[in-house]
Amino acid sequence: MTQVTTFKIGASEVDELIMLINDYSGYDFSDYSMPSLQRRFQRYIDLNKISDFKQLLQDLMNDSSMLNNLIEEVTVNVTEMFRDPSFFAAIRTELVPQLNKLPLIKIWHAGCSTGEEVYSMAILLKEHNLLDKSIIYATDINQSVLDVAKSGKYSIESFKENELNYRESEGTKKLSDYYIVLNGEVLMNDDLKTKIIFSTHNLVSDNAFNQFDLIICRNVLIYFNKSLQDNVLQMFYNSLSENGILAIGSKETIMFSPIENFMQVINAKWKIWKKKV
C-alpha cells in the first residue's frame, strides 16, 4: 500500500484557507488564534491524508460537504459531563445561594458544543430545586454539534468517566438517574431537555440577545485573538443582568480586557466573576 505523505501547513496557507472559508461559507475565522487554527487545519489534513494544498483548495470550493467538515474541525470543542468537577462544585457552593434568590434564572451557555456541560448544569439546578424556574440558552456556531446536543443522545462508553466526574462534582444522586439507555445509547431525560433552548449563535458576528443571570463560556476564548476576546467579553458584559455572573475557562481571563474594572472575582481558580453594581 502506498504511504501518503501529508504536507505541513504554514501561515500563508492558513490565510488562504481563512479567505476561502469566508468566501464560500460566510464564517470569518480571521480573528481566531493563528496557532490554534494552524493546529486544527493540520489535524484535518493529517486525518484525511491530504498531500497537495492546491488540490485541497480546489476540492473545498467544489464540495460543500468537505468544506463543512473542515469548519466542524475548527469549531468543535472537546467536552464531557461535569468537565472539571471542581468547577461544578464551586457553582453549587458559591453561585446557587445567589441564584436561589431570583424569581427566574436565565443562563446562557455560549459555545455549548455537543451539550454535555449544558445537561450537567440542568442536573445541578434540578438537585438544588432550581430547574423549574430556570431557562438555559445553549448556543454554538456549529449546527451539527447542536443537533447532537438537542437530541441528548451520547455514547454509553463515555458515561463511565462521566459518572466519576458527577460524583466529584458533589452530585447528590447517581448520574444514571438522569438518563435512560436505549439501543446502546444514553438518552438524557426529557425533564432536563424542556428547560434548554438550543440555537445557533456566532460569537464573532452576532450580538447579545438577552439579559442573563449567569453566562458560561468555557475554553472558547482561547481560540480567539486578543481583539476578538475583548469584543466577546464586552458582549458578555452587556448581556449580564444586575449582579450577573460570568464563568470562563481556567486558562482564560478578563484581565486587561475592557470589562476588567467592572467585574469582581468570585472564584479566581475557576475564573468566575460577578458584575459590579
Identify the three-state secondary structure at position 99. helix
**What is the pLDDT at residue 107?**
98
| C-alpha cell read off for 61 | 470550493
Task: Using alpha carbons, list the distances in angstroms from residue 254 to 39, 119, 222, 232.
Answer: 25, 26, 12, 11
pLDDT in tens, 51-67: 999 999 999 999 999 99
CB 238 within 8 A of CB 67: no
Does the pLDDT of residue 16 top 90, yes or no?
A: yes
List C-alpha distances in Å: 3 to 46, 49, 53, 154, 185.
12, 9, 17, 35, 36
Instruction: Write phi, then psi, for 181 (nearest 5 degrees).
Output: -105, 120
Domain boundaries along the sequence of the chain:
11-75, 85-275
| pTM given for the model | 0.89
Task: Say whether pLDDT at 45 is over 80.
Answer: yes
Per the prediction, the chain carries an average pLDDT of 94
Nearest by Cα to 80 from 192, 137, 163, 17: 163
Please report how many Cα atoms fall inside a 13 Å half-sphere around the Cα of residue 149, on the Cβ side.
34
Taking 60 as the threshold, does the pLDDT of residue 2 lie above it?
A: no
What CATH number should be reported for the domain whose range is 85-275? Answer: 3.40.50.150
How many alpha carbons fall within 13 Å on the CB side of residue 119?
31
154-205 pLDDT, tens digit per residue, is 999 888 889 999 999 999 999 999 999 999 899 999 999 999 999 999 999 9
Mean pLDDT of all residues in 146-150: 96
Q: In this structure, are residues 43 and 74 in contact, taking their beta carbons and an 8 Å threshold? A: no
Across the strands, what pairs with 153?
A: 187
pLDDT tens per residue, range 82-124: 999 999 999 999 999 999 999 999 999 999 999 999 999 999 9
Q: Which three-class secondary structure state does DSSP give residue 133? A: helix
